[in-house]
Amino acid sequence: MIGSLLMLVAILYLGSEASRVAGAPNFSYDFILNNVHLDPTTTLWLFGAFALAFAVKVPMFPFHTWLPDAHVEAPTAGSVILAAIMLKMGTFGFIRFALPLFPSAAMNPAVRNLIIVLAVIGIVYGALVAMVQPDFKKLVAYSSVSHLGFVMLGIFSLTVESMQGALMVNINHGVSTGALFLLVGMIYERRHTRMIEDYGGIAKVVPIFATILTIVSLSSIGVPGTNGFIGEFLVLVGAYKTQPVAAVISATAVIFAAAYLLWALQRIIYNKLSKPENETIKDLNWREIGLLVPLLIAIVWMGVYPKPVLEKTEAAARRLVTYVEASANTAPASASNTAR
């Protein structure tokens, strides 16, 4: 709420400046983009207000603390909507508003380096904290912090590859993490516990659930051939061109992701079936399978053949990168469609 209020104040300021130029009330995005020229100090303050609001929404480290608790308290549908849609409003805000409206502030070396450092910390920290979670749902929640750190790294590395990678991670995180939350909810309905230690060996009694959970977990890890690989790969390749140290450090999170998810899989569906209460768990029904099949198709399709999505995003990513780079050191361009 505090972050949103700061952004509201910044929006009102931009609207007042546009109204002064236009001679009438004007909050048009295109008009503001092309006609409102601000001094560097004001630009930094306004970018800070927008960036703080979006950083909480993403969420970026250290503004992430609300997310795990929100996921744990939310019902399954709430967690899916939060992971698949709501968090993307933060990263979309950076791409659509913060960078085009304030390119000089966004590309200020101090600002840019700060955001990239926070993104890298979020990537590694989220993965490490996920590794020690006893609650499977909270483990998935902390993995979101790590994945969305990749999105921020891709955006502020500002290469075509990293920007496309950020968009792909945005899409694929919604698919994979949304599916994980659905699976957590489905098994919770049967056992009424999310504690990893309460399971073990259930692949013997719920083979369909175990199979789908394994596929979705591999996609979240970013195994080649799944949707999770292409986005993170593009982010790292693109980031290495402008932020090589950050890219190398962030690459370690792929190892940590394999550690926390494969270890969780081992404890949940493999090992010995040692608890009698797990012997009577019912496998997924046709309604639940029907819900998950489209997500599995998306996981495989975008992992094996991401070309249609990449072709759709390449032109927009290239225009945004070109516009921000050109505008960072010059007056804003006069063509509104360039900033889109």
- Give 199-236 pLDDT, tens digit per residue: 888 888 899 999 999 999 999 888 888 888 888 889 99
Compare 173 and 278 and report the one with higher pLDDT.
173
Report the pLDDT averaged over residues 310-330.
84
- Neighbouring residues of 234: CB distance < 8 A, sequence distance ≥ 6: 154, 161, 162, 164, 165, 168
Q: Model-level pTM?
A: 0.86
Dihedral sign computed on CA atoms, order 193, 194, 196, 200: positive
The pLDDT of residue 116: 92
Compare 326 and 93 and report the one with higher pLDDT.
93
51 and 1 Cβ atoms separated by less than 8 Å: no
The pLDDT of residue 334: 37
CA distances for 221 relative to 53, 235, 263, angstroms: 29, 15, 12
The pLDDT of residue 214: 92
State the Cα–Cα distance between residues 212 and 293, nearest whole angstrom: 9
Question: Is the confidence at residue 331, as pLDDT, over 70?
Answer: no
Question: Is the confidence at residue 85, as pLDDT, over 90?
Answer: no
The pLDDT of residue 329: 65
Q: Write the pLDDT tens digit of every residue in 149-202.
A: 999 999 998 888 899 999 999 988 889 998 999 999 998 888 888 888 888 888
The pLDDT of residue 336: 40
Phi-psi region of 209 (alpha: psi -120 to 50; beta: other; left: phi over 0): alpha
